[in-house]
Amino acid sequence: MPEFSIQQLSRITGNTRETVGKYLEKAPHKDGKKGAKLYESAKVLALRDFRNEEGPALSGQEAARQLSVARKQQIELEMEVLRKERIPLEVIAESDAAVFSNIAGLLKAHEGKLLDEILLADIFTELRQVGVKIRDGSDQR
């Protein structure tokens, strides 16, 4: 029975050496020249469908289990949003844009002038209002 190295299997299957090596970590092998691991072709090809780069081919039951786990995670995320435990990214982005534009406006209005205590107080007030703006934005949705 012919034996192949990881590099040869990589060329045959079109997968990277890392992908082939990762999958064959626990497969039985013989030591070859220069530390190469040699695998029997029949055993290796029986272990894996090399067209699937993401790992071994899944059984129907395993695929269904992974799908149900993913659905459960999606439902939990949606429930967090509905209970307002998680703020949608759009609300955060809108709030950030508003705050940064307000601060930019304050700085542009004082262009060429020294930063005084009043301007700094206005900037910090704007920054303190971020939480309020986010809360208001998430309540409206």
The residue among 137 and 53 whose pLDDT is bigger is 137
Q: What is the DSSP string of 43-90?
A: HHHHH--TT-TTSSPPPHHHHHHHHHHHHHHHHHHHHHHHTTSS--HH
93-101 long-range Cβ contacts below 8 angstroms, 24+ apart: 94/137, 95/130, 95/133, 95/134, 95/137, 96/130, 98/133, 99/126, 99/127, 99/129, 99/130, 99/133
pLDDT digits (tens, 9 = 90+) for 7-48: 887 787 777 888 888 878 777 788 888 878 887 776 676 555
pTM: 0.42
Report yes or no: 138 and 95 within 8 Å, Cβ to Cβ.
no
